[in-house]
Amino acid sequence: MRALVVVMTLFLVHPAAWAAPPAVGGSLNAPSFWHAFKTRFISPAGRVIDNANRDISHSEGQGYGMLLAVAANDRVAFDLLWKWSQTQLGRDDGLFAWKWDPDSTPHVVDANDASDGDLLIAWALAEAGEYWPGSPYTKASAEVARAISRTLVIDSDFGPVLMPGSVGFNAGSRHNTPVVNLSYWVFPAFWRLQSVAPEGPWAALAKSGAAIISSARFGANGLPADWISIQGAPRPADGFAPTFGYDAIRIPLYFLWAGLGTKARIAPYAALWSDQTSVPRRIDVSSNEALEPMASKGYLAIAALVRCANSAMKMPADLTGADVDFYYPTTLRALALIAARQRFPECL
């Protein structure tokens, strides 16, 4: 009965339907890719290394690594990643410090959390608990999910919304608050968190995120900015570059993976990335100027996923190989391939 209630509640977010995403466990059927990922980006202690950012680590990377470890059916790696996250990033409130620097003492150089990292860790734990029954991961997921609910969700004109961190984005902390980052709404995570912490605001967050995304279409291309003020009508937030960039490019990935990506909702991205020669670029949504290309395969994979969803165009074979470059785009490529396999298998 509870599962039916969950489905009906989330169904209200999108009248056309929001089908629960398949379980992630075992979905990364690419042993050579996972081996290359582990070798390049995961230390023997379980630290995910951002090799394009002075080899720092962050909660987002730990969450992504844990999610991919479940997808690759690698419980040894998962346990290492989770233990490192707890011991090195864990905070007293149940959330995780976002930034760890190997060259600093202490290593945690910013104890504020990042809600996308918190969500990704909670989601990965929920997936692990489902995939490896009898493990302690489901309980741990519920604890992190409840900490997110307590600390990071506030009321707004759009309903409950997700703060990017527990400090710095709400009233009194900066101008034009609340400030949100729509790429922190990890939509496919909400289904799993509903199952482990059903009292949480997951359906309401899915609804508010979809509403803000529909309203936050700026410039000639109708794109969201990475950072958005929702004080009144959504607009690019003061104090941040008014760009659609390395954060916001995740929005169509999460939307499509969660089954929320109607053609109307992905239209701005489909228009930009209409053929296989299209290279995503960072775009100034105020001036409409196209800035540097985002040419790594991870960004190309998100563009290919959008084309696949919009016009059933197959994803290029060169995006499915085991080669890796930098942590972030390599991770996004893995996620885009899992999303395609689960939602659009005809495109692979």
Known catalytic residues? 60, 116
Task: Give Cβ neighbours of residue 338 (< 8 Å, ≥ 6 apart).
Answer: 24, 27, 28, 71, 257
H, E, C per residue of the chain = CHHHHHHHHHHCCCCCCCCCCCCCCCCCCCHHHHHHHHHHHECCCCCECECCCCCEEEHHHHHHHHHHHHHCCCHHHHHHHHHHHHHHHECCCCCEEEEECCCCCCCEEEEEECHHHHHHHHHHHHHHHHHCCCCCHHHHHHHHHHHHHHHHEECCCCCCEECCCCCCCCCCCCCCCCEECHHHCCHHHHHHHHHHCCCCCHHHHHHHHHHHHHHCCECCCCECCCCEECCCCCEECCCCCCEECCCCCHHHHHHHHCCCCCHHHHHHHHHHCCCCCCCCEEEECCCCCEEEECCCHHHHHHHHHHHHHHHCCCCCHHHCCCCCCCHHHHHHHHHHHHHHHHHCHHHC
Contact 297, 329 (CB under 8 A): yes
How far is it, in rounded angstroms, from Cα 296 to Cα 305? 15
Q: How many CB atoms neighbour CB 310 within 10 A?
A: 19
User: Which residue type does 33 have?
Assistant: F
Contact 314, 279 (CB under 8 A): no
Looking at the DSSP bridge assignments, the partners of residue 57 are 100
